[in-house]
């Protein structure tokens, strides 16, 4: 478990900044401090929280908020598929607990250490994973609470909610590494710009569909060249 804590510690600084930004953003989006605390404890997913806040402030329909939450969390489904062989023999309660509390850095740290392990699902691996998720949870919740307190003090004219938009950008840009991904981002960006006056913020859905289509189209067009 201590090994896991040691391995995850460099990522905790980024997590702390992110936590403060998310805490501030919740209050600046119009949540009461109590609502913001409940959101942080229950949802525990920075990107989903930052994505949902503008939708909640605009009064978007609940199903669209749910759909947006699922879409930005989809990466965890992929992570879960990779982690599954390590945890399949645990009881369902433990799997629910470990899955619910897993975050990006715990996945990255765990897989970079055990991806090629000959034996999957050992005692040592389970405790290493616990060692990565517990400090992440504590740091995230503590810094979110600091952000919530700050959000109530700092005046609106400082536009700290803009920090949330910047934080989302800081999260996105490192993933724009290939032409299909770049095409996908450009297509969804143009769609989002043109459709933002659609009712109920449904333009978001159009942006996702067009973005996926553009990414897959460019990917398919470039594939035969590689095979030849």
Partner 1 sequence: MQSPEYLYSAIVLLALCTAICRAGYFMFGHYISLSEGLRSALRYAPLAALTGIVVPELLPWHPVDGPQVDLRLLAATIAVGVFLWTRNGFLLIVSGMVALWVSRWIFGL
Q: Which positions from 154 through 183 interact with partner 1, judged by CB under 8 A?
A: 158-160, 162-163, 165-176, 180-181
5 close to 135: Cβ distance less than 8 angstroms = yes
* Per CB under 8 A, 115 contacts partner 1: no
For 39, the token pair is 């959101």
DSSP 118: S
Stretch binding partner 1 (CB under 8 A), from 79-87, 115-123, 124-132, 145-153: 79-87
* Per CB under 8 A, 222 contacts partner 1: no
Shortest distance, CB of residue 124 to partner 1, whole angstroms?
Answer: 19
In angstroms, the CA 142 to CA 137 distance is: 8
Helix residue spans in 88-178 (DSSP H): 92-100, 104-114, 123-153, 162-172
Output 7 or 98, the one with its CB closest to partner 1. Answer: 98
Shortest distance, CB of residue 4 to partner 1, whole angstroms?
Answer: 17
Among 2, 91, 92, 118, binds partner 1 (CB under 8 A): 92
Among 7, 25, 65, 139, binds partner 1 (CB under 8 A): 65
Q: What is the greatest pairwise CA distance in the chain? A: 61
Shortest distance, CB of residue 35 to partner 1, whole angstroms?
Answer: 6
* Per CB under 8 A, 12 contacts partner 1: no
Output 6 or 95, the one with its CB closest to partner 1. Answer: 95
Size of the site for partner 1 (CB under 8 A): 93
The position carrying tokens 């401090």 is 33
Output 2 or 59, the one with its CB closest to partner 1. Answer: 59
In angstroms, the CA 80 to CA 45 distance is: 15
Per-residue x/- track, 34-53, partner 1 (CB under 8 A): -x--xx--xxxx-xxxxxx-
In angstroms, the CA 120 to CA 108 distance is: 16
Q: Give per-residue burial for 136-170: e unless 16+ CB within 10 Å, then b.
A: beebbbebbbebbbbbeeeeeeeebbebbeebbee
User: Binding to partner 1 (CB under 8 A): which residues in 124-153?
Assistant: none
Count the residues in the chain: 228
Shortest distance, CB of residue 212 to partner 1, whole angstroms?
Answer: 5
Among 22, 132, 143, 191, binds partner 1 (CB under 8 A): 191
């Amino acid at each position: 478990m201590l090994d896991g804590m040691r391995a995850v510690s460099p990522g905790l600084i980024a997590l702390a900044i992110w936590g403060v930004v998310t805490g501030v953003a919740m209050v600046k989006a119009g949540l009461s401090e109590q609502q913001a605390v409940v959101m942080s404890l229950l949802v525990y997913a920075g990107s989903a929280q930052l994505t949902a806040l503008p939708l909640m402030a605009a009064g978007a329909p609940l199903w669209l908020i749910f759909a947006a939450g699922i879409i930005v969390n989809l990466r965890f489904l992929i992570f879960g598929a990779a982690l599954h062989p390590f945890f399949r023999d645990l009881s369902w309660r433990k799997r629910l607990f470990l899955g619910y509390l897993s975050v990006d850095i715990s996945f990255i740290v765990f897989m970079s250490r055990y991806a090629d392990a000959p034996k999957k699902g050992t005692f040592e691996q389970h405790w290493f994973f616990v060692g990565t998720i517990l400090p992440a949870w504590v740091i995230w919740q503590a810094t979110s609470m600091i952000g919530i307190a700050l959000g109530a003090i700092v005046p609106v004219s400082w536009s700290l909610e803009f920090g949330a938009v910047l934080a989302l950008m800081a999260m996105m840009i490192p993933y724009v590494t290939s032409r299909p991904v770049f095409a996908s981002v450009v297509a969804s960006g143009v769609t989002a710009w043109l459709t933002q006056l659609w009712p109920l913020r449904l333009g978001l859905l159009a942006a996702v569909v067009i973005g996926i289509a553009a990414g897959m189209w460019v990917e398919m067009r470039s594939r035969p060249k590689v095979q030849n």
